[in-house]
Amino acid sequence: MTGTTATATGTAAGDTASRVLVLNSGSSSVKYQLLDMRDSSRLAAGLVERIGEQTSRLVHTPLGGGGGDKRERTGPIADHAAALKAVAEELAADGLGLDSPELAAIGHRVVHGGLRFSAPTVIDDAVLAEIERLVPVAPLHNPANLTGIRTAMDLRPDLPQIAVFDTAFHTTMPESAARYAIDVETADAHRIRRYGFHGTSHAYVSRETAKLLGKAPEEVNVIVLHLGNGASASAVKGGRCVDTSMGLTPLEGLVMGTRSGDIDPAVTFHLKRVAGMSTDEIDVLLNKRSGLVGLCGDNDMREIRRRIDEGDERALLAFDIYIHRLRKYIGAYYAVLGRVDAVAFTAGVGENAAPVREAAIAGLEELGLAVDADLNSVRSEKARLISPEYARVAVAVVPTDEELEIATQSYALVRGVNA
């Protein structure tokens, strides 16, 4: 933590590359941000969605200087390589092209890093091979991450490409939380254990929650609820993850947009032996046709709430199942931590869906948990408390920023400073 303070001492603008491009490649989308790490400001941000379909869409927002108007492109974008080339063109149109000498690194979200990577890592052939080896345990994510990395390497072979792993923050989990209770030899031979995901978000949000409470991360125990399309909970004790709801793959745990979360593993035997489904069909069923979409046909919480308001019973049942699972994890992690200082809601659903927060915490006063209806209804991009003053445990909405965290870690690595 001492010595090289390249970022703190700084240098005149232009003579040290200070920009980081962050790529978050999902199965059918790429989110990106270009940041200036001298002040962590965003110069541009955007999203390419529905990659591989006829109706692909790129939305690019210039944010540097006075900003500028959002630009949108529609029409087929065949694959992640084409998507990244389109992003590079949009950045170039703002004078922020990938050829810029200001660019210090490209930071990539990589979902599965197994046990080998507990910190941000400069990508070389060996790292690429390891990410490739882990494709079977992150089939929706790692292939897209790899394409993003390879395309970025083609565009700027001279630049450090940094991998920031979703699994890294969870490598501190004790064996009691990380191991499945199955035959140890079989588990070890096939590296079967609970790895956990969304770690960049859990790390960032637990630190921001401590900040909101005016404390150091070491002083607080936080339950983080990352509720996006993929969703996971984590128990963070004094800044270190001690348990999380996702496992060998991002399928375990909470009910998600399209994933089942926890089920009895015997369901899969039954589907195979009795329903005659193949392993691949079961994989697709549990990862893509389950969760909220499987229960009611919609995976967007906005749509589900709209249907509930119209009296739709399937939507209501889907919501109730989602909430029931979430409450079980809050209770479980309360017991894992012993003392809880805060419960933090984050990601698309956690940051925006007040009814989810209300239902998740309702009736838990005995645990020191409560939500104030007025505070809960406030819409804001800022971290904020939604618990009443009397409550023993803080309940907070803490917007996640995986891209900022990836940029911070990537820049620290290329500058040789601790993040």
Ligand X SMILES: Nc1ncnc2c1ncn2[C@@H]1O[C@H](COP(=O)(O)OP(=O)(O)O)[C@@H](O)[C@H]1O
Binding residues for substrate: 109
Binding residues are 24, 31, 109, 226-230, 300-302, 348-352, 402
Q: Is 129 helix (H, G, I), strand (E, B) or coil?
A: helix
Query: Minimum CB separation from ligand X for residue 211, in Å?
Result: 21
CB of 232 to ligand UVW, least distance (A): 7
Q: Which is nearer to Mg ion, 201 or 408 (CB)?
A: 201
In whole angstroms, the minimum distance from the beta carbon of 265 to Mg ion comes to: 26
The Cβ of residue 366 has, within 10 Å, a number of other Cβ atoms equal to: 6
Beta strands 71-74 and 103-110 are: unpaired
Work out whether 198 is an interface residue with ligand UVW (CB under 6 A).
yes
The DSSP secondary-structure symbol of 24 reads E
The residue range among 146-154, 227-235, 391-399, 407-415 that interacts with ligand UVW, by the rule CB under 6 A, is: 227-235
By C-beta, is 239 or 257 nearer to ligand UVW? 257
Which residues define the annotated binding site for Mg(2+)?
A: 24, 402
Among positions 103, 155, 347, 414, the unique one binding ligand X when judged by CB under 6 A? 347
- Counting contacts by CB under 6 A, is residue 236 touching ligand X? no
- 36 given a catalytic annotation: no
Write phi, then psi, for 281 (nearest 5 degrees): -65, -40
Q: How far is CA 373 from CA 121, 359, 400, 415, in A?
A: 43, 11, 22, 45
Site for Mg ion, residues 218 to 257, rule: CB under 5 A? 228
- The answer to whether the CB of 42 falls within 8 A of the CB of 35 is yes
Nearer to ligand X, 121 or 201 (CB): 201
349 is a site residue for ligand X (CB under 6 A): yes
349, interface contact from ligand X, ligand UVW, Mg ion, none, CB < 5-8 Å by kind: ligand X
Pick the closest to residue 145 from 170, 169, 118, 121 (CA basis).
Answer: 121
Instruction: Please say whether the beta carbons of 112 and 137 come within 8 A.
Output: yes
User: Does the CA dihedral 46-47-52-57 come out positive or negative?
Assistant: negative
Q: Considering only 147-155, 228-236, 305-313, 371-379, which stretch makes contact with ligand UVW by CB under 6 A? A: 228-236
Residue of 69, 94, 99, 166 with catalytic role: 166
Residue that the structure tokens 């009611």 belong to: 296
The first and second tokens of residue 303, run together, are 């749509």
* DSSP state for residue 341 in the 8-state scheme: S
